[in-house]
Amino acid sequence: MYTIAKVIVDVPSRDTDRPFDYRIPPDMAGWIEIGSRVGVPFGRRTLQGFVVGLEKQSDMDPARIKPIQELLDHLPPLSPDLVELAGWMSRKYACTTIAALQVMIPSALKGKAERYVSVPDLQPGYAEAAAGAGVPASGTGNAENLFRSVGGSMEGEQGALFALTAALPPEARSILAFVRNAGLVPLSQLGKRYPEEGETVKALLSQGLLTETQQIKDQMRRKTVKTVAAAVSGEAAEAALASFTAQARRQKEVLEFLLEVGIPISQQELLSTLGVTAGTVKKLAEKGYAVIEDVEVYRDPYADRRFKATVPLELTDEQSDVFDKINGALQARVHDTFLLHGVTGSGKTEVYLQTIERCIAQDRQAIVLVPEISLTPQMVERFKGRFGNKVAILHSRLSGGERYDEWRKIREGKVQVAIGARSAVFAPFERLGLIVMDEEHETSYKQEETPKYHARDVAVRRARQHGAVVILGSATPSLESYHAARSQSDDEFAPMLLEMRNRPSGSSLPKVHIVDMREELKEGNRSMFSRPLHQAIADRLERKEQSVLFLNRRGFSTFVMCRSCGYVANCPDCDISLTYHEKSNNLRCHYCGHAEPAPSICPECGSEHIRYFGTGTQRVEGELAKLFPGIRVIRMDVDTTTEKGSHERLLQAFREQKGDVLLGTQMVAKGLDFPNVTLVGAIAADSALNLPDFRAAEKTFQLLTQVAGRAGRHQLPGEVFIQSYMPEHYSIIHASRHDYLSFVREELQHRRGLGYPPYCRLILITLSHEHMPVLVRMAENFAAELRGNAVKKGVFGSLDRLSAEALDILGPIASPMPRLKKRYRFQCMVKYRGDIDAVELVRRTAAGMLDGLKDSLLQISIDVDPQMLM
Ligand code: ADP
Ligand code: ZN
Ligand code: ZN
């Protein structure tokens, strides 16, 4: 029998990032498991924690081991494999284990200790006083019982208390009486009831007349409904029915009904069916003929939605080939990862659906990851349509309670499929057979807050634990995944490449036109619509077909570009664009720190039309209204989609053809499938190209490919216009030809030349502090220390030379966002290649530095494989 639990407590600090030993009280022994959530005493507080290990004995002095105070759930929220995964995450991403554990559970279970007060069981003097008053002491000598035995009336109790605490002021006596009656009272509630008496409560606590305890309280309550059932049957029921008087006719009806139904039914339903009142039911229960019970139910956010049932389609040859390979691995029950590269509309989703069906048939479970679930309502519909209530949806816009209930269906094995954004990768299935990651290249799979994990890595790791299959699907796979599939060098992550080049519908990919916006300007068109796009929109309006207009949200006003020749200021050393800094009026490189004054005329062509670039959806909407009077525009961006369900509503309106144009940011690029859309326009297709990010070209290619894929998916042929100031850029040219392979070839060449992923790995370290001079010194110390440690380990060396192992440290330089929340920020970048444990090197260096400082104001954040460099 285990007597010791190793518990990770909920303190997000480095010092407490290890398991602490607690004694398992005998009454919990059968219930505590690895993954259990518990409340434990920690210092003077009570904290939530997770059991990560069980032992028969502890190395600690037994007298110093405290017992677990409470067990918070009967079914542990985490399974042992998730606990193990959290350990792996803490090593891989240099985060605390508690941060990794916390990200795995719904926020509803992020319990915080709440302070309660009660009247202590036995207060010296109470018993004597009570005895003196002629009341016999009860057997247990327990003060509670004692008070109860004083006759139970308020008066008698008040009297006893009065005798004991006669010296106290009246407010204090009133508080004591209130608490004793209530039993256990949250301190916050007491504060509300006696707002003026804070001092009195404190005094009572310090005198020991009140005691304080702490308990973990969840962020929400489980939802229950009242149910009613007959409590009698057979002869007893006959007798009961015979006993009703004429006035109790309604009660009799209720009992007859309950006997007929035979199972508990919701009280609300009962009342409305029979037209009786709750009072009638209550009387029936009081007579012992019926029981009223609160039963826990799941809140179902999709309860009032109907989904059109769909049946499996007959797969095309291409789909069959892919399906057979994946299904082979699934049936073998061995871990394998597939990279499914299929053009938009090639039927990837149908392959997912049919693979999941096989997975369910094996009595295993499947997780489906989508970039942002509120942006993919059509995906939800297809899965609900195929699998109905076997599906749980972990939607970010659900209320905390709804999300918790969906999660609970997974934990309790009530569903076989979970769909959600990146954190759904932690869906607590115990017989996981399949993880599908749709649009695997999307950056939203990387969490930008601690723990800074990538759902793709976690998916592969989890699948390995379970002998499960992973499908990474995309029309534009990330270069990392594609390169890994091609080179098969990394044994941790070497997906098998599967390809689908055709659309089952037989429709071809849309024709794409690139419009040179420099030419437009030359010809005197200063509008944001080129003449060809303008004409195309007009045609669609006339033909009553629909258009999607796309505007890249990223890259506003950050880079400097010449409107005449398309020149963009780049860093001479890094081949990425410089960022404009308004305050100092200069341009800076966020990788190496290079700075130069902002030009007022174009250094390339001398034009004065050089400026920082940016435009917004609202402006586009305004211009559309001016150019096309009466045009119906549905605008979808962060401003119009803040409300819950607004996204679905806008799309529904567009589907019902209540709009001629769907105008939006990234939101309109993804996963939408509207038969009547025959035109897609990318207004400033290249605006993201100029971000100071080595992935700028890749992101641009992905977005353009994706948005172009929205046109002409069905009978009507589609047409796409890409407006650009750099129409000769390879990402734009290859996107216009739907040519992923050529793009990859060219992009990989660049990456290799510049030493960026996938030819090396990155760790971004951001140091922040409130005082700039202190920060500069510390950042320099940190970089020096890190270099020193790397040299000691013998791994320091330039990546230029194509050695298999190398590690280079860039910086420190000011972060692209140099001040956030009153803190200045500096960063270092580690680039490395080969089998080096660079994360551990960085983590140790950071920990060593923080340990050596009394100054706790310094923060060091570590981002492994960063996606956002801004
Ligand atoms: P993707 O996920 O690759 O973008 P989808 O799965 O959405 O592609 O498929 C695109 C369209 O083709 C959908 O309307 C889908 O119903 C249809 N489709 C997929 N597979 C088949 C098939 N085997 N036979 C007929 N239609 C199919
Ligand atoms: Zn120019
Ligand atoms: Zn640079």
Strands (E), 349-456: 365-369, 391-394, 417-420, 432-438
| Pair 403, 483 in one domain | yes
Task: Give residue 614 CA to ligand 1 midpoint distance, Å.
Answer: 36
Residues 422 and 354 in one domain: yes
Domain end: 264, 296, 328, which one?
Answer: 296
* CB 597 within 8 Å of CB 585: yes
Whether 715 lines ligand 1, by a CB cut-off of 6 Å, is no
* Predicted pLDDT at 140: 36
Pairing verdict, β 633-636 and 661-664: parallel
By C-alpha distance, which of 362, 370, 312 is closest to 334?
362
Task: Report d(CA 839, CA 866) in Å as an integer.
Answer: 12
Q: What is the DSSP pairing of strand 432-438 with strand 365-369?
A: parallel
Per-residue confidence (pLDDT) for residue 775, from 0 to 100: 93
- Range in 138-147, 188-197, 728-737 the model is least confident about: 138-147
Nearest CA to ligand 1 atom 20: 347
Structure letter (DSSP) for residue 378 = H
Evaluate whether residue 644 is within a structural domain. yes
pLDDT tens for residues 842-863?
999 999 999 888 767 899 999 9
**Contact (CB, 8 A) for 778 and 858:** yes
Q: How would you class 504 by CB atoms within 10 Å of its CB: exposed for 0-12, middle for 13-18, buried for 19 or more?
A: middle
| Nearest Cα residue to atom 9 of ligand 1 | 347
Residue 807 pairs with which residues in a beta bridge? Answer: 796, 832
Say what the pLDDT of residue 839 is: 95
pLDDT at 653: 92
| Distance (Å) from CA 358 to ligand 3 centroid | 51
**Whether residues 529 and 563 fall in one domain:** no
* Residues 545 and 689 occupy one common structural domain: yes
For residues 695 and 681, give the distance between their C-alpha atoms in angstroms, rounded to a whole number: 23
Residue nearest to atom 4 of ligand 1 (CA): 345
**pLDDT (mean) for 36-54:** 93
The SS3 call for residue 524 is: coil
Pocket test for ligand 1, best of 349, 705, 715 (most atoms within 8 A of CB): 349
Q: Which residue has the higher pLDDT, 795 or 137?
A: 795
Contacts of 851 (CB under 8 A, 6+ apart): none
User: Residue 512: what residue type?
Assistant: V
**Considering the domain boundaries, does residue 632 fall inside one?**
yes
Residues 541 and 660 in one domain: yes
210-214, 382-386, 459-463, 629-633, range with the lowest pLDDT: 210-214
* pLDDT reported for residue 594: 82
Strand, helix or coil at 819? strand
Q: Look at residues 87, 27, 847, 58 and name the one whose alpha carbon lies nearest to residue 462.
A: 87
How far is the centre of ligand 2, averaged over its atoms, from the C-alpha of 516 (Å)?
14
Residue 788 lies in a domain: yes
The amino acid present at 370, given as its one-letter code, is V
Q: If you measure from the C-alpha of residue 697 to the centroid of ligand 1, how many angstroms do you get, rounded to a whole number?
A: 28
Residue 148 has pLDDT above 70, yes or no: no
Quick check: 507 and 712 in contact, CB under 8 A? yes
Q: Is the pLDDT of residue 71 over 60?
A: yes
Q: Is the pLDDT of residue 156 over 80?
A: no
With a 6 A CB cut-off, is 316 part of the ligand 1 pocket? yes
pLDDT for res 335: 96
Is the per-residue pLDDT at 157 higher than 70?
no
What pLDDT, on a 0 to 100 scale, did the predictor assign at position 459? 98
Give the ligand 1 atom nearest the CA of 346: 3
Judge if 652 and 742 occupy the same domain. Answer: yes
- Is 96 contained in some domain? no
* Ligand 1 contact, 310 CB (< 6 A): no
The confidence band for 729, taking pLDDT boundaries of 50, 70 and 90, is: very high
Tell me: do 605 and 525 sit in the same domain.
no
Ligand 1 atom closest to 344 (CA): 4
C-beta of 346 in contact with ligand 1 (< 6 A): yes
Q: In this structure, which ligand is nearest to the CA of 522?
A: 2
505 lines ligand 1 (CB under 6 A): yes
Same domain, 331 and 284: no
Q: What is the pLDDT of residues 647-671, one digit of tens each?
A: 888 888 999 999 999 998 877 776 6
Answer yes or no: is the C-beta of 319 below 6 A from any ligand 1 atom: yes
376 in contact with ligand 1, CB cutoff 6 A: no
Report yes or no on 100 lying in a domain.
no
Any atom of ligand 1 within 6 Å of the Cβ of 478: no
CA distance 823 to 739: 44
State which of 344, 350, 441 you would mutate to test the pocket of ligand 1, scoring each by most atoms of that ligand within 8 A of its C-beta. Answer: 350
Does position 834 have pLDDT exceeding 50, yes or no?
A: yes
Report the residue count for the chain: 870
Q: Which of 166, 184, 217 is the last residue of a domain?
A: 217
**pTM score of the predicted model:** 0.79
Nearest one of 717, 811, 75, 866 to 412, comparing CA atoms: 75
Q: Please give the tally of structural domains in the chain.
A: 7
**pLDDT reported for residue 766:** 95
Q: Which ligand is nearest to the CA of 608?
A: 2
- Residue at which a domain ends, from 90, 105, 127: 90
- The Å distance, Cα 549 to ligand 2 centre, comes to 27
User: Tokens representing 272?
Assistant: 């409305």
**pLDDT band at 20, cuts 50/70/90?**
very high
How far does residue 606's CA lie from ligand 2's centre (Å)?
6
344 Cβ inside 6 Å of ligand 1: yes
Q: Residue 194 pLDDT more than 50?
A: yes
Q: Is 473 in the pocket of ligand 1 (CB under 6 A)?
A: no
Helix intervals (H) in 428-557: 455-466, 479-487, 517-522, 531-543
User: Ligand 1 atom 19: the closest Cα is on which residue?
Assistant: 347
Which residue minimizes the CA distance to atom 26 of ligand 1? 504
pLDDT at 526: 85
The range of the structural domain enclosing residue 44 comes to 4-90
**How far does the centroid of ligand 3 lie from the alpha carbon of residue 417, in Å?**
46
**Alpha helices, DSSP H, located in 467-615:** 479-487, 517-522, 531-543
- Looking at the predicted structure, is the pLDDT value of residue 381 above 70? yes
* Annotated binding-site residue? 574: yes
On the question of a cis peptide bond just before residue 451, with omega within 30 degrees of 0, the verdict is yes
Question: Is pLDDT larger for residue 402 or for residue 712?
Answer: 402
Residue 310 lies in a domain: no
Q: State the pLDDT confidence band at 121, using cuts at 50, 70 and 90.
A: low
Same domain, 342 and 419: yes
Rounded CA separation 200/175 (Å): 9
Closest of 147, 193, 144 to residue 171, by C-alpha:
193
Of 128-137, 399-408, 503-512, where does mean pLDDT reach its minimum?
A: 128-137
Q: Does residue 472 form part of some domain?
A: yes
pLDDT (average), residues 743-762: 92
The phi, psi pair for 103, rounded to 5°, reads -75, -15
Highest mean pLDDT out of 452-466, 477-491, 511-525, 753-767 = 452-466
Question: Residue 576's pLDDT is what?
Answer: 65
Atom of ligand 1 at shortest range from CA of 350: 6
Weakest mean pLDDT among 341-345, 371-375, 701-705: 371-375
At residue 147, the pLDDT reads 34
Instruction: Give the number of the ligand closest to the Cα of residue 314.
Output: 1
Taking the C-alpha atoms of residue 403 and residue 108, their distance in angstroms, rounded to an integer, is 8
The pLDDT, as a whole number, for residue 163 is: 56
Position 195 confidence tier, pLDDT thresholds 50, 70, 90: confident
What count of Cα atoms within 13 Å lies in the side-chain half-sphere of residue 428? Answer: 27
What's the pLDDT at 373?
A: 67
Q: Which residue has the least CA distance to atom 15 on ligand 1?
A: 347
Give the DSSP letter of residue 568.
B
Distance, CA 547 to ligand 1 centroid (Å)? 21
In DSSP notation, 324-344 reads HHHHHHHHHT--EEEEEEE-T
CATH label of the domain that carries residue 45: 3.40.1440.60
Q: Are residues 430 and 551 in the same domain?
A: no
Task: Decide: helix, strand or coil at residue 431.
Answer: coil
Cα 698 to middle of ligand 2, angstroms: 25
Specify if 111 maps to a domain. no
pLDDT grade, residue 558 (50/70/90)?
Answer: low
Specify the CATH number for the domain of residue 674.
3.40.50.300
Mutate to test the pocket of ligand 1, among 320, 505, 706 (most ligand atoms within 8 A of CB): 505
Q: Is 760 annotated as a binding residue?
A: no
Shortest-distance Cα residue to atom 18 of ligand 1: 347
Q: Whose CA is nearest to atom 17 of ligand 1?
A: 347
Q: pLDDT, tens digit, for every residue of 713-722?
A: 777 788 999 9
301 within ligand 1 shell (Cβ under 6 A): no
Binding site membership of 349 for ligand 1 (Cβ less than 6 Å): yes
Distance 513 CA to ligand 1 centre (A): 25
Q: Are 771 and 808 in contact (CB under 8 A)?
A: no
DSSP one-letter code for 475: S
Query: Tell me: the pLDDT tens digits for 252-277?
Result: 989 988 888 888 888 888 888 888 88
Q: Which ligand is nearest to the CA of 726?
A: 2
Question: Which atom belonging to ligand 1 lies closest to the Cα atom of 351?
Answer: 6
Residue 279, Ramachandran bin (φ over 0: left; ψ between -120 and 50: alpha; else beta):
alpha
Whole-number Å distance, alpha carbon 591 to ligand 3 midpoint, is: 5
Residue 821 sits in a domain whose CATH number is 3.30.70.1130
Q: Could you write out the DSSP letters of every residue in 644-678?
A: TTHHHHHHHHHHTT--SEEEESGGGTSS---TTEE
Indicate if ligand 1 lies below 6 Å from the C-beta of 345. Answer: yes
Does 565 carry a binding-site annotation? Answer: yes
| Residues 416 and 278 placed together within one structural domain of the fold | no
Nearest to 156 by CA among 140, 134, 185, 183: 134
What amino acid is encoded at 605 in this protein? Answer: C
| 95 marked as binding residue | no
Average pLDDT over residues 36-55: 93
36 lines ligand 1 (CB under 6 A): no
Which ligand has its closest atom nearest to the C-alpha of 609?
A: 2
Overall average pLDDT of the 156-174 stretch = 66
Do 572 and 682 lie in a common domain?
no
Q: Which long-range contacts (CB under 8 A, 24 or more apart) does 769-772 make?
A: 769/823, 769/824, 769/857, 769/858, 769/859, 770/822, 770/823, 770/824, 770/857, 771/824, 771/857, 772/824
Check: CB of residue 122 under 8 Å from CB of residue 113.
no
831/825 Cα distance (integer angstroms): 20
The verdict on the CB of residue 315 being under 6 Å from ligand 1 is: yes
pLDDT above 90: residue 779:
yes
Distance of CA 76 to the CA centre of its chain: 21
